[in-house]
Structure 1
C-alpha cells in the first residue's frame, strides 16, 4: 500500500503516543489531587571567617581580623520556592500570629545578618521582606512573613552566621493549608528545578525519538521548493540602527533558504541610509539593489524614494542607576533638554545632587529624529562635550554629547552617574548600571500599541529607489520580511504592519494619541 512508508509509520506511532499521553494527563488531573507545596534547598554553605582551610594548607583571608567573634563566620544561600501545582496566598499559611509564615532554623549557629533577593518576574515580593511585614531573626532562627508565591516563583536568603562550622542542620518549618513544606535536593546557585518528573521525561524521550527520526527521514530526502520570495543576486541594506537586529536575523535565514542570494548590511542611521540610497539611485541607469530602512518618513525632498510601511518601532528613555527615577513627564524631559533642569535634585526634594548629563545620538540617527519629533517637539541643543563627562565650554546651558550608535549610548549611560539617554526598545535589553523610565506613567509595549498614550514610537519604513521589479531580490526580500519576519520583529520591540493590528495602525496613518 502507498501509505505504508517509514515516515508514515513513525508519524502514526507518534500520534498514538501523543493521544495516550494526553489521556494519561487527563486521568492524572481528574484522579490525583492538586497540592500546594513550598520547597527549599541549600545552594551554598561556605566559611568566610578569618581562616579558611584549603586542603592541607590554611589560607588567611583577613576578612574579620578586627572582629574575632566572626572568625567562624559562614555564609549560607537558601532558595525558597513554590514548586507545587497551585499558587500560595497570604491566607494559606497556618502559622501562629498574623504575620508569621515560615521559620528557618540554623542549629548550632547564630544569625548575624540577612539579605533577600528575588527574580525580576517577582518584583511584587519586595514589599513583604520588611520588619513591618514580619521579617526578623533571633538567635538561630529567622521568622519569615506570609509571602504569597505564584507557581514557580522563588526568593533567596543570603544569611551570615557564626557559632559553628559549615554543614550544620538547616531546616524550614511552617504550615501550609492543604499542602506541605519540604526540603529539596541541594543544587548549584541559580540552578533551576527540573520541569518534568521521571514519567514525563520517559514520554518526552519517546516522543522526541519519534519526531527526530521522522525529521531525519524528511531532511535526508528533502525536495521541498525554496520560498516563493527567493531571488538571486546581491542586496545592500542600509539605514536604521533600530532595525538592525531584525535584518541581521532575516539576512541569515534568507541566505540559508535562498541559494544564490547575498545580503550585505551597511547600517549607519536612518538619515545616512536614505541619502545614500538617493545618491546611488540618481547615478544608476536602473533602480539599485538597495533597501534603506528609516525610523519615520524620508525627508520631503527625496521624492524618488518609494516607501513601504514595515512596522511600528518603540523607543525608550534610559537613566543611570545613580538616579532612582522610574518615570518622567513630557514636560520634565523637555525642560531637561532645554537646560531648565540641570540637576536631578530639581525634580524632587529627595532627588540626588547630581548634574544631568545628556548622552545623545548623532545627526544621522533616526532614533534621535523620532525623539525630537515625538518627545521634545523641538531640536536637541548643540553638543557641548566630547567626552560626555565635562563641558567643552563653561557657559553651555547643559552638558550634552553625541555618539554614533545605540550600544555606545547604552554603555555611556550605564557608566556615567547622572546620565540620561534614549534608545530603541530591542526586546527590553539594558546593560547593568542603567534602567528604563516610563513617560507620563506609560511604558513602551508592543502589546499596548493602539491604546497606550506612550509617545516615543514611530513607523519604520523600507525605502527603495523607484519601484523595484517584481522578480528582483529587493522585492523578494521585502515580501520575505512581511511573510517570515513577524516573530523576529516582535522580539526586538516592533509591531509588524503586516499583522491585522499593525495593518490597522499603519494604514490609518497612525496618528499619535493627543
Structure 2
C-alpha cells in the first residue's frame, strides 16, 4: 500500500488557498466603496499660547464665530478592481446624494473638497449633483470613481453639546452611510466600509503569511521524514537477499533507504558468496515456485553456462575489485606477471619482488565466491591452488609446504585477516577496501582501480554484478520493485557511493550485458 501523499496535499493547499483568497478579496468583491477618516481633531488650545492667530477668527457659514471648533478630513475612494458609476450607488431612484456623513454632537460650520485624484471629478461636486450641507450632516454626490480614484473632504465643525460637567476631549466618530449595488463581499452587504492606511500590514496579510509559514514548515517535516522521495511502486512483504558479500554493503544501504520510503517492506540478508546464493535461490524456486519471488540472489559475474537454467540474470552495476596487502609487505604496485607468479607460489618473500623481507601469505575467498571467480578469470587466467592453512600464518600439519594459503568466506573477513597478518595479500571489492587505514591497495601495472581505467581496458579487475530471480517476478512484487529502485536515482546514487557504476551509466554498455 502506498504512503498517503501528504506532500501533494500540502502543495495543493499552498497553491489553492492564496489563489482563493485573492479571488475572494479582489474577484468576488470587484466593486468596493471605501472611506478613511484621516483626521478628526479639535482646534482648542491644549497648551496656552498668546498668538492663536486664525484659529480665533474662525466663523461658520452664517458668519458666527466658532467657539469650540474641530476638523475632520474624510477620504472617499474606490478600493475595488472595477469602476463605480453613478448608477451603482445603493440609493432610491431620484436621490441625488450617494453618501451621507453624520457628525454626532457637532454642527457643520463649513466644508471644502480639498483633493481630487483626477481633475475631471470636480464637475460632480455641485448642488445640482447632490452636494448638500445640513446642521450635523453633509451629503456627498454620487461621484463616478474609476479604479483607485478618490477625493477628500475637509469639514469644519462646532460643538453643540450641552454638558454642564465640562466638554469631553473626544467626539463620537463620524458615521458614514452609503453603499453600492453588486459585486461586493457578502460580509459587508454592499455598504461602504472603512479602509486602512497602507503603512502597516493588514490582518488578513499577516494571516496569509502565517498560513504559508505553516505549509512550508509542514512540507519540510514531510521531506525530512522521507516523504518527498516516495516512488510510485512501493511494494509490501519480505524479501531475502542472498549471494555476493562484496556487493552486500551497497545492497544493505539501498534496502534501508527503500524501507524508509516504503515502510511496509522488510528485508533479510543471507549473503555467503555468489555461488552459494545461486544455489539457495534455485533450491527455493524448485521447492516452492510461488515463494521464489521473495528471494533475490546477487552474483559477482555471471553464472556458469548451463547452470541453474531457471535463474534469470539482470545486470545491475559494474563492480571494481582491487588487490590488498598488509602494510608490512612494502609494495604498492605489482606487474601483472608478478601477480600471477605470487599466486602460483613462485615467490616466498616480498623481498623477491622489491618489497620487505616478510613471508608472502595468500588470503583467498572460498570456492563459491564470485569475487574469487572474477580474480581467477580476469587477473590470473587460471584457477588458484587450494588452502594449506587455517590461521593464514602456519601450514596445517601434513599440508604441502610452500606459500601459506588460507580461505575466508566473506569480503570483510578477507580484509580483517590481511590487516592483522604480516605479509598477507588478497583481493576485495573496491568500496569495501577503500578508506581502511590498516592495509594498502595495490596498483596493477601502475594502474589504480578506477572506473575510467576499467572502461578503457587499462585496469583488468572489474566485473558485472548480476541480480538473479527464479523466473520472471511479478511486476508488483517486492523483488521487482527493489530491482527498479536500484536503477533509479536513489539506488544509482548508492551504487556510485560504493565505488561502483550502474550499468546505465557506462560509456561502453557491452561491458555490462548478460553473458
TM interval, shorter chain, is 0.5 to 0.7
Indicate the residue corresponding to 1:423 in structure 2: 428
Q: 1:449 aligns with which of 450, 454, 463?
A: 454
Q: How does 1:111-510 map to 2 (within 5 A)?
A: 216-219=217-220, 226-286=230-290, 287-300=292-305, 301-348=307-354, 351-392=355-396, 393=398, 395-426=400-431, 429-483=434-488, 484-499=490-505, 501=507, 503=509, 505-507=511-513
1:6 deviation in Å?
8.4
CA shift digits 1:162-182 (9 cap, x unpaired): xxxxxxxxxxxxxxxxxxxxx
Change beyond 3 A, Cα 1:212–1:461: farther
CA contact (8 A) 1:318 1:421 kept: yes
| SS of residue in 1 equivalent to 2:283 | helix
| SS of residue in 2 equivalent to 1:229 | coil
CA shift digits 1:340-397 (9 cap, x unpaired): 111112113xx32221000111122211111111111111111011111111146423
| Higher gyration radius (CA) | 2
Report how many residues are paired: 306
Q: RMSD in angstroms over aligned alpha carbons?
A: 2.9
**Structure 2 Cα separation of the partners of residues 399 and 379 of structure 1:** 17
TM-score, with structure 2 as normaliser: 0.55
**Structure 2 Cα separation of the partners of residues 4 and 231 of structure 1:** 32
- Structure 1, unmatched stretches of 5+, are 8-210, 510-514
Change beyond 3 A, Cα 1:2–1:258: closer
**Structure 1 Cα separation of the partners of residues 505 and 391 of structure 2:** 43
Structure 1 moving runs of 4+ over 2 Å? 1-7, 211-217, 219-226, 285-288, 393-397, 427-433, 446-449, 498-505
| SS of residue in 2 equivalent to 1:263 | strand
CA contact (8 A) 2:364 2:407 kept: yes
**Structure 2 Cα separation of the partners of residues 315 and 357 of structure 1:** 19
- Structure 2, unmatched stretches of 5+, are 1-12, 20-211
CA shift digits 1:431-456 (9 cap, x unpaired): 33310010111111124431142111
CA contact (8 A) 2:455 2:508 kept: no
CA contact (8 A) 1:319 1:434 kept: yes
1:283 deviation in Å?
0.9
Change beyond 3 A, Cα 1:2–1:321: closer
Change beyond 3 A, Cα 1:214–1:446: farther
**Structure 2 Cα separation of the partners of residues 489 and 423 of structure 1:** 16
CA contact (8 A) 1:496 1:502 kept: no
CA shift digits 1:437-494 (9 cap, x unpaired): 1011111112443114211110000000011111111111100110131111111121
1:428 deviation in Å?
5.0
- More displaced 10-residue stretch of structure 1: 384-393 or 499-508: 499-508
Change beyond 3 A, Cα 1:497–1:212: farther
CA contact (8 A) 2:300 2:466 kept: yes
TM-score, with structure 1 as normaliser: 0.55
| SS of residue in 2 equivalent to 1:401 | strand
**Structure 2 Cα separation of the partners of residues 461 and 246 of structure 1:** 13
**Structure 1 Cα separation of the partners of residues 295 and 508 of structure 2:** 25
Change beyond 3 A, Cα 1:276–1:4: closer
Change beyond 3 A, Cα 1:396–1:229: farther
Q: How does 1:47-86 map to 2 (within 5 A)?
A: none
CA contact (8 A) 1:414 1:431 kept: no
